[in-house]
Amino acid sequence: MCGRFGFYELKYFLDLLRQLELPFEENQDYPQTNRYNIPPETDILTLQANHGAYKLTSARWGLIPYWSKELPKIRPINARSESLVSKPYYRHLVGRNHCLIPASGFYEWERIDGKKKQPWYIHRADGLPMAFAGLWDTWKSKHTEEPAITTCTIITTVANEQIAPLHDRMPVILESENWKRWLEADPRNLSKMLVPADNGILEMYQVSTLVNNARYQSGNCIEQVE
């Protein structure tokens, strides 16, 4: 799964989008500061697509489907790749509202002696920012005049050999050559992309248990500890 991540490479990510010739409309509502410990229910940066111009904008992490009559108590931060078509929460978005969610790395926790939770930081071995496959939607309450909310979820798949000792799931990490394919949302290509990252693409190391507190946001979140 993916329940916490960091993103502190905005300029690098934007440069990559331009190098890959992925033109986008920029909405300056997105977070532009370095963030090292991003929790659910937070506004995060997304590159959204819906068979038109790509839009770089923020979305709240925790999906609310447009058809929900009330603000749901369950707002999934992760969507299992195997059930995207079968689950009502997601199936209306498959082939339509796809997005990239940029990240510098993400955290996973190892249980030690059944009690202690040791966080690990996982990032690309080549030093590049990663992009998670995601889905987005927009919801508006029918009972208030509050503005519409755009939300998103990160798609997960089975863990590869590196991540499996920590958790049986991992986010779908798209290689840059698949970014446009994912955004174009061609149903014929989806199953080929929603797979675990190849072994060796990622590196991981232990970090301070201060990361366990979602309010802790210092840059030393990603520093390796013994």
Q: Give the integer Cα–Cα distance in Å for 2 and 61.
A: 11
Catalytic residue among 2, 99, 152, 221: 2
Catalytic, 2? Answer yes
Tell me, what CATH number does 43's domain have?
3.90.1680.10
CB 102 within 8 A of CB 115: no
Distance of CA 11 to the CA centre of its chain: 18
Range of the domain at 28: 4-221
Site of tokens 């770089």: 56
The answer to whether residue 226 sits within a structural domain is no
Q: Structural domain tally of the chain? A: 1
Please report the pLDDT score of residue 3 as a whole number: 94
Q: Which residues pair with 82 in a beta bridge?
A: none
Residue 108 appears among annotated catalytic residues:
yes
What pLDDT digit, counting tens, does each position of 113-125 carry?
777 899 999 999 9
Residues 28-86 pLDDT 10s: 788 889 999 999 999 999 999 988 889 999 999 999 999 999 888 889 999 999 999 99
Given 99, 108, 152, 221, which residue is catalytic? 108
Within a domain: 42: yes
Distance (Å, rounded) from C-alpha 130 to C-alpha 214? 21
Residues 106-158 pLDDT 10s: 999 998 877 789 999 999 999 999 999 999 999 998 888 889 999 999 999 99
